[in-house]
Structures are given as C-alpha cells and as structure tokens.
Structure 1
Amino acid sequence: MAPQDSATLIRPALGLGAWAYDRGEFVPATAPRLPLSTQGLHYGTGAFEGIRAHRSDAGVFLFRAHDHYRRLLRACRLLRITGIRHDAGELVDLTVELLRRNAHDTDAYVRPVAYKLSLLPGTPPGVSLHGVSDALSITTFGFPQSRAAGGVRCVLSGWRRPAGDSLPAQAKITGGYATTALAADEARASGYDDAILLDRSGNVAEATTANVFAVVGGTLVTPPDTGDLLPGITRDTLITLCREAGTEVRERVLRPADLFTADEVFLSSTGNGVVPVISLSGRDVGTGAVGPVTTRVRELYTEAVTSPGGARPEWLTPVSSHATPTTGKQG
C-alpha cells in the first residue's frame, strides 16, 4: 500500500489513528477482522508493548522504541511466535511510518501486539504453541500527557502479582493482565485511582501497570528486577537518569510498611511517566503532597523524553517530517 499524501491524512485527537499495521500491510484501522477461533483471544497467548511518542518544540520523538521492540521479540521467542520477520530496527521504522500516516503531531501511544492466530492444518483444537500461525498488529492513539501531576490515591490490592514461575514476569504476556484488570477494577470501585499488588511473599511487587519507587530514609528505593514484577523500561530509564545525576537508587525488597512510612512514593510507566502517590489505603504518604525527589525525577524524565539534546539523545527516534529515518519493510 503506497504512503498517503499528507493532505489526505486524518488527524487524530485522542482516539485511535485512522491507519493500522496488520499482518504485513498498512490498512484502515477499522478494517481488520480476527477469526472467532483466534488462539491469542482464547488462551492469552500473545505479547504486547506500549510505546510513547512525545511532542516537544523540536518535533515528535518515539522514546526507547528499539528497547520496547527488543523486549517484544524476546517475548515472542518465549511464546514460539516465530512468524515475525522483522528485527527491532525494522519495527521501529514501521512505527514511524504508521505515526506519520496517522498525522500524530502531538503526544501519541503505540500498541504493537504479537499473538497466536489460527490452527495450522492437522493441528487439533486445544492449548498449544505448536501448530498455530502467528500475527503482528500495530495501532496508534492520540495520548496526552498524564493529568495526574497532583498525585494519585492508591490502595494495597487483595489480588497478588502472579509468581514468576507461574507467569513470566519479564514479558508483557496478554493473558497475565486479567489479574491487573481485576485489581484495577477493585481499586476504582472503592474510590481509588490505582492499586499496588504484593507478591506471594507479601512484599511490594508493582502497581497495575507501573513500577513502584519510594523515598525511604532519604534513599530512593525500588523492588529488585529479580522479583515478581515486570522490570519496566521507564523504571530502567529513571534508575539510569537518577544515578547519572548523582542520586542514589537502591534495588531492594520493599515491604508494605515501607510504603506507609515512606517520605514519598511514585509510580513509573510508559503511559504516564512519573506519577506521585499522595495516599495509600486511606493514609497520607509523607505530607500528602508531591515531594521534592518525585518532582526532580519527573523533571529528569520529561527532559529525556522530549529533548534530543538531553541526557540520552540515543533513546529518541524522530517522527517529525523534517527528520526522516530509513523506511523499513512492510510485509
């Protein structure tokens, strides 16, 4: 399918972009139809990523897109999704092309998902990673900066984060997010903004779709990536930026009591960046307001995701038309 002239593109606001990449080609986003027998739908045998594009005075830039796609490809190996014929660089190029087709000139969110599709001839129905075809789809959305600058109210969830020996913690496996949905629904039904889940040992794992940081005794602390949590790319970004700026970050076990007595708590995620937690299960965190460490970390992050002249310019991939990358394969 040939690229569209920029004058004919529909400019998305906050919704789904007009175009998608689906199974080898660019198509109208409303066109794809999956068969009712789609294996990823039945059994959760898929993996996804969330990638952000941020607008700044210098243009629109994808942030750490190569790292996101490398993680997606690792998850594909785990699930025997072998039909994805692109490397990380080619997937980034496809994403840039899709963002341009959708004329995203403000902040945007990219959702690639790789999944098991259809039973191959001779494969009987049932749960299997063999004998099933693979598919890759990418959609984009207009996605503004987080409106949670003033902080969110969280609750310790009654749902536990699945153990790593039950569900791989290092990949965003679609089936694993049923627990996330239950925890988020429980929290919001009780009047909270988000939930923090514990692991099977009763230690802090992560929020529903974010990693957890706390300022404990003047030190910035986050649970170790060897625990039952997804070690997020934003989490890694913050640890790197803080250490390079001279702020100590310790990766160690966090107990619920550590959060209740912390001076500050914040969440980190691709979708929302750095989000202060001002209360936990009805108790104020610290002073009940956004603290100085959280404010500084958010400043470091904002500069990194929007400034090509910032601390890590290699993390940015330009989308703006004045900085054209090489176009990757389309199918």
Structure 2
Amino acid sequence: MSDFSKGAAWIRGQIVPISEATISVTDWAVTHSDVTYDVVPVWNGAFFRRDAYLARFEASMSALRMDVGMDRDAIVRALDGMVARSGLRRAYVAMVAARGTPLIPGSRDPRDCANHFYAWCVPYIHVVRPEQAEAGVAVHLSKTLQRIPPASVDPRVKNYHWGDFTAGLFEAKDARFETVLLPDGAGNVTEGPGFNVFALKDGRVATPREGALHGITRDTVIRMARDMGYEVEERALPVTELLDADEVFLSTSGGGVVPVVRIDDRHFSNGAAGPVALALRSRYFELLDDPAYRSDIDYPDTD
C-alpha cells in the first residue's frame, strides 16, 4: 500500500506519494526557474481563503503567459482530491504552473513549451517554529544584499527566483538569526523568504507596497488591523522607519502573524513579543476556523 504520511502530489492526472512525484530534468521550470506557484494552507480539514489564493495563482499564470489547460474547477478538484488522499488535516498545499519542455526539440522560444500543472502537499509548515513565533523572532536586515528589483522580476507574481533570499538566509543563519529581510536599492525594506513585514508606530501600521509579494496573509492582516481600529498604509517603508517602529511583525501563510523582537541590534517591545502582534496572531488562528473563510475537504470515510 502506498505511504502518503509524508504528503501527496497530483501530477499528470494522478495522485501519488510525494516521494514518487517527478518532472523532466529538461523542463524549463528546472532549467530556467520558469514557473509560478501559490500555496494555500489547510487547517483542521479545510482550505483557508482558497478562492483568494486561486485568484492570485490565475493572475500569475496570466502574467507569465501560461496556459495549463485547466480551469479553476479542475484545479480545485485536483487539490481537493490530493489532500483528501493524503489524509492530512493540517497541510501546506502548493499549486504549480511550469513552463514545460519545448514541443519542438531544441527550440529556445518559450511559446513552444507545453505548459503544465502539478500540485503537492506536506504536513503544515511553519516558517518560524510556533514556540519561537510566540516568543518573538530575531531577524537580520541585510546590508550587503538587495531584493531583485521589480522591473526585473515582479514579486507580485509568486516565483522560485530565490537567489537573493537564499544568500540572505546564509547570511542570517551564519550570524545566528532566524531569518532575513532584504532592502531595495532606495533604502526601503521589501520582504523576506516567505513573509511580508509590518511596522507599527503611534497607532499606525505600514507595510511595503512595492518590491514585495501582495500576500494573502498580508491582506488578512491588513483587514484584521483595520477591524481593530488601526490605520494601515501600503507604501514605501524606509529602513530607518522600520527600525524606529514601536512593534514589527511578519505575516506568512506558514504560521500567520509572527512578532519580531529584534532586528540586528535593535530591540522592540523590550525584547518581548509586542501586544498588537500577539493580538493579531491570536485573531488569525481564530479566523482559520471561521466557516466564512473555509472550504471543507471531502476526506474518505476511514471508519
């Protein structure tokens, strides 16, 4: 019997254990990182804000001129069936559109590639360990690296261009920080590997508009903060302003809201998780179980 305990994949119309999922080594997704993807969390047996993630995935495919030959209903069926077969009740679920391999051997024309869809799921991933997130995380702000400029690679189209992030993670880990934030060339902060950033100062919350993915969790946090009475601004966020904030926190589909207690040698909230960040974190996990945001998965009856 196949072992789905470590996750599952939907590929070429089949659901297989994740260890058995493969794509061609000549696929442009591999050779050129020519791919877009999205990640939707599954929490307690249901997708959270699935339609919002699907809409962004569709927009990304359109921006990259990809057509995988599947409409939204077909993608939903693939994701639903895959997660149901895995049996995972809390999962990290990725949907991927790959450029594919040229139908004309040797062609260098992206229009000649056979675009295709695949998906995979694994047990829920926390970008920051839950116990670390509750206490607050220490972040490194790189002074030697910059985020890939939006004019080169649009960060609003979710992608695998992680050269800058990976270099930043090495820099952060070597300095014993949990993760990294990257600035742009104009002195503004952008984002980190898998998360957006927010700064709270004098009752106002700011988050970068340019140079960063417009995350679904970012959008959820913006809504929650406004519901709590805070003014939220989506705009350029100078590094100097970030470091002068009363509180800093991150948002990610892999763990919700994560308080930041330190950026390099700058401490926030006296080195403890800030009260606003903790309130937003608690509210996020409440929303994960709110029927208004959930799309239930039809798991097989195992009784």
TM (norm. structure 1) is 0.83
Residue 140 of structure 1: how far off its partner (Å): 0.6
Measured in 2, the distance between the counterparts of 1:262 and 1:213 equals 9
Change (3 A) 1:167 1:187: same
User: CA RMSD of the aligned region, Å?
Assistant: 2.0
Measured in 1, the distance between the counterparts of 2:19 and 2:37 equals 19
Residue 163 of structure 1: how far off its partner (Å): 1.5
Measured in 2, the distance between the counterparts of 1:272 and 1:24 equals 30
For residue 97 of structure 1, what is the aligned residue in structure 2? 81
Q: Deviation per CA, 1:36-94: give whole Å up to 9, x if none.
A: 21111111110111111112xxxx2211122112211221122222133222x432232
Greater helix proportion: 2
For residue 53 of structure 1, what is the aligned residue in structure 2? 42
Residue 101 of structure 1: how far off its partner (Å): 0.4
Residue 109 (1) aligns with residue 95 (2): no
Residue 186 of structure 1: how far off its partner (Å): 1.5
Native 8 Å contact 1:261 1:286 kept in 2: no
For residue 134 of structure 2, what is the aligned residue in structure 1? 149
Unaligned residue ranges in structure 1 (runs of 5+): 1-7, 324-331
Q: Deviation per CA, 1:278-308: give whole Å up to 9, x if none.
A: 0001221231111111111112211111222
Which of 193, 201, 209 lines up with 1:208 in the alignment? 193
One-letter code of the match for 1:221? A
Residue 124 (1) aligns with residue 106 (2): yes
For residue 224 of structure 2, what is the aligned residue in structure 1? 241
Q: Deviation per CA, 1:150-209: give whole Å up to 9, x if none.
A: 1111011122111211111211122x2222111112211211111111112110111222
One-letter code of the match for 1:223? P
Q: Deviation per CA, 1:228-252: give whole Å up to 9, x if none.
A: 1111110001111222333322223
Q: Give the % identical residues.
A: 27
For residue 317 of structure 1, what is the aligned residue in structure 2? 295
Residue 218 (1) aligns with residue 203 (2): yes
* Aligned positions of 1:247-262 closer than 5 A: 247-262=230-245
Measured in 2, the distance between the counterparts of 1:137 and 1:264 equals 39
For residue 264 of structure 2, what is the aligned residue in structure 1? 281
For residue 265 of structure 1, what is the aligned residue in structure 2? 248
Residue 262 of structure 1: how far off its partner (Å): 1.2
Native 8 Å contact 1:114 1:135 kept in 2: yes
Measured in 2, the distance between the counterparts of 1:28 and 1:212 equals 35
Bigger shift: 32-41 or 189-198?
Answer: 32-41
Native 8 Å contact 2:84 2:300 kept in 1: no
* Aligned positions of 1:161-172 closer than 5 A: 161-172=147-158
For residue 327 of structure 1, what is the aligned residue in structure 2? none
Change (3 A) 1:252 1:119: closer
Residue 62 (1) aligns with residue 47 (2): yes
SS state at 1:84 partner: coil
Measured in 2, the distance between the counterparts of 1:321 and 1:193 equals 36
Bigger shift: 132-141 or 19-28?
Answer: 19-28
Native 8 Å contact 1:261 1:285 kept in 2: no
For residue 39 of structure 1, what is the aligned residue in structure 2? 28
Tell me how many residue pairs correspond in the alignment.
296
Bigger RCO of structures 1 and 2 (CA < 8 A, at least 6 apart): 1
One-letter code of the match for 2:37? F
Native 8 Å contact 1:116 1:132 kept in 2: yes
SS state at 1:149 partner: helix
